[in-house]
A and B are shown apart, each in its own frame.
Chain A
Amino acid sequence: MGWSAAGALAMAAALTFAAAPALACPLVRADGALLSEGALQLAWRTEPATPVQGQPFLLFLRTCPANAALLKVDARMPEHRHGMNYRPALLPLGDGRWRVEGLLWHMSGRWEWRFDVRSDSSAAVQSLRTSVVLP
């Protein structure tokens, strides 16, 4: 194997490793932006990475523990005192992963995410929040 081919393979392997999500708890940065409260961890990322104003986008979530139930996803503009015009659909993908559809941010400015999660059937609902600014 020539040097360039070996180098290309090594680079491809490195890129694959970097892009692949972590496979087990605890969650790591490669799983998405991290939020945590007590023992509960949540990673989130959007597709596209930066939503476009007025265009629908997807949200991918992962919870740790994997059997935690995602109960609600919402996003609001606190300064505007309103949320989205849509009620997102939460689709379980297994292994603590979720796909969320029906998201659209119609105004630029600060949006506050709210993720309601129950770690197990006996636990209280935990609301994890974070803010992002849509340019």
Chain B
Amino acid sequence: MRCARRASGSLGVWVQTLVLALGTAAAIPATATTATVRSLLDFTPAERASILRHGPWPPPAARDPANAQDGKAQAIALGRRLFSDPSLSAEGDLSCASCHDPATAFQDGRRVPKYGTRNTPSLLDVAQQRWFGWGGANDALWAASLAPMLADTEMGPAKLDSATLVQHAKALAAFQSTLVSPRTTFDAFRDALARGDERAAAAYPLAAQRGLRIFVGEGRCNVCHAGARFSNGEFADIGVPFFVPDGVDSGRHGGLKALQASAHNRLGPHNDAGAARDPRAVLTRQLDMQPRHFGEFRVPGLRQLDHTAPYMHDGSLATLPAVVQHYSALNEERLHADGERILRPLRLDAEQAADLLAFLRSLSR
């Protein structure tokens, strides 16, 4: 996070400078107002409504009823310290920050970790997720924070007793709840549209506007990448192979089984509010295991995407252009035969691909 803030600060100045430069140039041929308004695409009312649903940002903080430590300053401070404390690991050589590096948007920049088959996700905005891990094996951030401390392939086996571990995990979750990504040029554009300030909206680069039109229009990317975080919080199969060296990664199917068997879910004894008084426990109780969940993985949010390469659950796509190319040339035969029928190759030409990329990059700072 520290590094992300440093990077975003310098980039933010660069963006402001560019906008000023554009504004100066626009003043030459006509009045500034006329020139800038002309650089706003003629978004339809339906497109504008879709765009507005991707904000405002940041959303109000929502406390987790299952974690009584959430939002408490003392717990946040303890969690921040524990996050970088290698003594929590069995060998004393690994901390949360070893993989979720604050200098790289709280991920590790690797395709997959040394002893794993899944990409390490960023922790920015993590508290807004409903399910945690690529397969959703946890339903609370504190439980997801506990899991690496117990896993022999990560920081485990744990040296501490169960009650202390749970309390540490809840402090870690309280700290991670503070990791909210900064506002972006997209947010300034979206808010300008919301208040009817077309001149301010026109400061958003045209390429990004065209890419956004693809995103909410023909590309239908927002069918899954919805809301202010650009994720519907659920799971999907987008044709990324799920074969791993020793078999297959069943994704949500395995995640559901693990979640329902866990003593550390919202229905269990460690929920501080009690399952009956935790509104978020309802969805855990009503989960429905279905065959199509096999090979589905969590739909990630898209904010700060520029800082979280590589991409996909297996880290198989190294760059953002590779992600755009994946959707442009989607292998339909790889998708579930009886399942989702909304995915199809976007078949973008070079200019459209560049526009979509410009929009995606505008979600980072």
- A-to-B contact residues, CB < 8 Å: 52-54, 56, 79-82, 84-89, 101-102, 104, 106-109, 135
Contact = CB atoms under 8 A, between A and B. Distances in A.
B290 interface: yes
Given A82-B340, A85-B234, A85-B235, A102 B224 contact: no
Contact of A82 (B222, B226, B339): B339
Contact of B222 (A85, A101, A104, A108): A108
6 contacts: A53-B226, A86-B283, A87-B287, A89-B282, A106-B224, A107-B223
Interface string B213-232: 00000000011101100011
Given A82-B339, A107-B224, A101 B286 contact: yes
B49 interface: yes
A80 B283 contact: no
A107 B282 contact: no
Nearest to B231: A54
B342 A80 contact: yes
A80 B232 contact: no
Interface of B: 49-50, 53, 222-224, 226-227, 231-235, 279, 282-283, 285-288, 290, 292-293, 338-342
B283 A56 contact: yes
| Of listed A79, A84, A86, A101, residue having the most chain B CB within 10 A | A86
B233 A106 contact: yes
Given A84-B288, A86-B286, A102-B286, A109 B340 contact: no
A79 B232 CA distance: 18
A85 B287 CA distance: 6
B292 A82 contact: yes
Contacts of A89: 282, 285-286
A87 B287 CA distance: 6
Given A53-B226, A54-B232, A80 B341 contact: yes
Nearest to A58: B282
A53 B234 contact: no
Q: Is the interface of A mostly helix, strand, loop or mixed?
A: loop
Contacts, number: 69
A54 B234 contact: yes
Given A53-B232, A86-B286, A108-B223, 13 more contacts: A54-B226, A54-B227, A81-B339, A82-B340, A85-B290, A86-B288, A88-B286, A89-B282, A89-B285, A89-B286, A102-B286, A109-B223, A135-B49
A100 B101 CA distance: 42
A80 B222 CA distance: 15
A54 B225 CA distance: 10
A98 to B, nearest CB: 15
Question: Quick one: which of B282, B285, B293, B341 has the most chain A CB within 10 A?
Answer: B282
A44 B224 CA distance: 27
A86 B231 CA distance: 18
A102 B285 CA distance: 8
Contacts of B288: 84-87
Contacts of B338: 81
A80 B339 CA distance: 7
Nearest to A86: B286
Contacts of B53: 53, 135
Contacts of A53: 53, 226-227, 232
Top 6 nearest A-B pairs by Cβ distance?
A102-B286, A54-B232, A106-B234, A87-B288, A86-B286, A106-B232
A104 B131 CA distance: 14
B302 to A, nearest CB: 14
Nearest to A77: B342
A125 B233 CA distance: 35
Contact of A104 (B49, B283, B292): B283
B11 to A, nearest CB: 29
Contacts of A52: 227
A134 B222 CA distance: 12
B341 A79 contact: yes
A82 B290 CA distance: 10
